[in-house]
Chain A
Amino acid sequence: MVDLFSYICPNEVYMKKAWQLFWSFFRIGAFTFGGGYAMLTMIQNEICERKKWATEDEIIDCFTISQCTPGVIAVNTATNIGFKQDGYKGAVAATLGVITPSLIIIILIASLLDNFSDNIYVTRALNGIRVIVLIFILDAVIKFWKSGIKNTAGFIVFAVSLVLSLFAKVSSVYIVIFALIFSIVLYMFNKCKEKRTMNTKEDNDGKNS
């Protein structure tokens, strides 16, 4: 079972890094359903546990950057990991890897099948896959929670972003900008406070001596 998928990538260890990246992201692209976030579990499984190219925290960082930059999250993450692994060559290989399955599958469906998404078997299979996607995304939430929220300030940003997105339907762009400004202001505020306490400390020291 473990190497059920090794037939797609025979003797991958002996391949050049760029090819390994291509096939890794090809597999990720071919089995991603339901958008980028469900992919975190997939990428973590392939990149951290099987290939050991990055740690879990590095992947979380990658996703954070992908969310805050333009473009499709899956592609951004592929480019990011590919570039870190093998420079420009790796970035190109990983990016092409993640989009190639889409190109093949969509072109086949668009040219051969009408009413693909109305087919009863497709619908049933998708309903089953959605449950798995939900499990994957819950996994991603737990991982982000563990890595991302470490103090009160973090929790406040989380809570405010959640309310803004869930109830006020604010676009993710503005939420990211809000978090960005909040963290910079908080940093400057802490810096000032630090300076002040250091000054008073020096004053106190001065008085004492």
Chain B
Amino acid sequence: MERILEFVIIFFEFFKAGLFAVGGGLATIPFLYEMADKYDWFTKEELLDMIAVSESTPGPIGVNMATFAGFRMGGIAGALCATLGLVAPAFIVIIIVVKFIEKNKDNPVLKKVMDGLKPAVTALVLVTALNIFNEVFFIKGAKNFLKNPSIDLFNYKSLILFIVIFGIRYAFSKNKKLKKLHSSVWVLVGAVLGIVLKM
């Protein structure tokens, strides 16, 4: 009975994280810190390890973190409870929102709001792109490189790979076969080249 109660608590803790973490997976991290404080499920050091693994495995980071934390707490059942808990609020909210939007498709205010939100989201995507740009090309960040421009701080292999792949994608952007090529092929190409080039 106590074990079942524990799974219920796991579910609702992650339900809370899923409900209040707006704007993507990384927003769940503060909630996990709170959990580390509140329960003895995992320590803060373990949490850092979990973040590293979640970022280096495929899948949405938030889901990976929930699965990992849930697994540490209560095995496979714990992982399931945590992940479903994280996903449940979003599931409910999205269905309500989609239904509302379908119903009010022709409402001019709603259309204006959607059009107004897009530029803001564009900016947020650009910020993410800049962060990744910084991570990919500079070993200790662009700021350090500008202070001390040495080749040791610049990831030239990444730049070459970037130019080649970007060039191929751009040059053949009208090619239908390449367009239909599953994006995961590019991910695999990246992984293999990363190992071969010792990036």
Instruction: Give A contacts to B, CB under 8 Å.
Output: 1-2, 4-5, 27, 29-37, 39-42, 45-46, 49-50, 60-61, 63-76, 79-80, 83-84, 88, 91, 95, 98-99, 101-103, 105-107, 109-111, 116-117, 121-122, 124-138, 140-141, 144-145, 147-150, 153-155, 157-159, 161-162, 165-166, 171-173, 175-176, 178-180, 182-184, 186-187
Whether A106 touches B68, Cβ cut-off 8 Å, given contacts A158-B123, A166-B130, is yes
Instruction: Give B contacts to A, CB under 8 Å.
Output: 18-28, 49, 52-64, 67-68, 71-72, 76, 79-80, 83, 86-87, 89-91, 93-95, 97-98, 101, 108-109, 112-130, 132-133, 135-136, 155, 158, 161-162, 165-166, 169, 177, 179-187, 189-195, 197-199
Task: Count chain A CB atoms within 10 A of each CB in B18, B54, B71, B199 and give the residue with the most.
Answer: B199
Whether A134 touches B136, Cβ cut-off 8 Å, given contacts A27-B182, A128-B199, A161-B123, is yes
From residue A88, how far is it (CB to closest CB) to chain B in Å? 8
From residue B35, how far is it (CB to closest CB) to chain A in Å? 16
CB < 8 Å A-B pair total: 361
Whether A173 touches B58, Cβ cut-off 8 Å, given contacts A79-B94, A95-B91, is no
| Option from B25, B120, B130 in Cβ contact (under 8 Å) with A72 | B25
Mostly, the B contact residues are helix
